[in-house]
Homo-oligomer: A and B are copies of this chain.
């Protein structure tokens, strides 16, 4: 098979309200962006149901991955200016890897991950799709795949894509705070990128970037609790899990449930054992639109559980939700279960579709997991939690748990 030639002849600029202009100046990158696999990301919200609370937060996975690509370009330019050796092939590979890092996300991204397609997380799917593109686009994606899977020897390239301080996180914090209007999520991505360096093959932050890095971690913490795990957002996302679970249960029990599109129907009727590779083409047709249209259709389904949940989500008549630091008691839950069972004339087991509890968890910074290393002028290296007068201290390393309960509003008429 002939190696396709991809010369960087063409050049496109894309308007981005966050960064101004994003430049794409390589034909292979342009081919990837033009591919239907990539274009599908236009139809997946970056933040699932966050827009129910933050109406501006309707931006897409496509926009986020273009943004991450832009920051990757900046980071690579910066590192090269500092004398770090990065070949053209590595540069292109890194750019492709970040462009495709989220290509495996399904409808509503994380919200339905492992629910709609059990056992297939988005990284696995991303890798499958990258391999498919590799075949289709002249075997040109090997460096990208090696970097993406951390099998490339310059580890800092992987760390730029997937680490505690990668361009993915920098873009999503910046972009999500821009589109939600939560100004406190703003980070100094520009400064952090200027402070990045490589030491013994690993990505590090120069000493002058300590405060910006701390600020980055605090902004992330804030965004988690104020936006990503906002109780209303969390509730909506759990509700669509319940919808999919109910739809599958009905199907298993022999009740007909037709999705709005054949693609979604296929995934609702998956056999218990399946090889995801064989479903890639169908997966590539699946996005938020299949789901939301189906919710709209199912508002008229005879099953009161499915139809009610769908009506709730479509009309934004969400369940009531409470957060607290202690688990909810059996009694509290039973009371709500009773109410729901009576109201809908369903069994207590079925009432769990309207009453459910769980935990929301976030860790501000886990130094035992991935580290953010600070390179000091004297050549020493310390973790961000170990610098003098660190803001990020031991107690922030353990995950914060909040317990939640979702249940029917009492004044609701069904």
Give A residues with C-beta under 8 Å from B: 11, 13-18, 20-21, 25, 34, 36, 39, 42-43, 51, 53-56, 58-60, 62-63, 66, 81, 178-184, 186-188, 190-191, 194, 211-212, 214-215, 218-219, 221-222, 225-226, 260-263, 285, 289-290, 292-293, 296-297, 300, 314-317, 325, 364, 388-389, 391, 393, 395-396, 400
Contact = CB atoms under 8 A, between A and B. Distances in A.
18 contacts: A11-B81, A15-B53, A15-B55, A20-B181, A20-B190, A25-B81, A36-B315, A43-B292, A51-B60, A55-B62, A56-B59, A58-B60, A183-B186, A215-B218, A261-B293, A262-B297, A263-B296, A364-B391
A244 to B, nearest CB: 17
Given A42-B51, A296-B263, A396 B391 contact: yes
B181 A15 contact: yes
A233 B39 CA distance: 16
A218 B214 contact: yes
Nearest to A400: B389
Contact of A66 (B55, B184, B260, B388): B55
Contacts of A42: 51, 55, 316
A260 B226 contact: no
A364 B211 CA distance: 13
Contacts of A262: 297, 300
Contacts of A178: 17
A387 to B, nearest CB: 10
Contacts of A297: 260-262
Which of A36, A43, A58, A300 is packed against the most chain B CB atoms within 10 Å?
A58
Contacts of A314: 36, 39
For the complex formed by this chain, how many copies does it contain in all? Answer: 4
A391 B293 CA distance: 42
Contacts of A221: 211, 391
A346 to B, nearest CB: 24
A221 B217 CA distance: 14
A210 to B, nearest CB: 8
Contact of A190 (B21, B34, B58): B21
Contacts of A14: 55
A182 B188 contact: yes
Which of A55, A58, A59, A218 is packed against the most chain B CB atoms within 10 Å?
A55
Contacts of A226: 211-212
Nearest to A223: B211
Which of A25, A182, A293 is packed against the most chain B CB atoms within 10 Å?
A293
Which of A59, A325, A364 is packed against the most chain B CB atoms within 10 Å?
A59
A315 B39 contact: yes
A397 to B, nearest CB: 12
A300 B218 CA distance: 48
A34 B316 contact: yes
Contacts of A181: 15-18, 20
Contacts of A36: 314-315
Given A18-B181, A260-B297, 12 more contacts: A14-B55, A15-B181, A17-B56, A21-B190, A42-B55, A55-B62, A214-B218, A215-B219, A285-B296, A290-B293, A391-B391, A391-B396
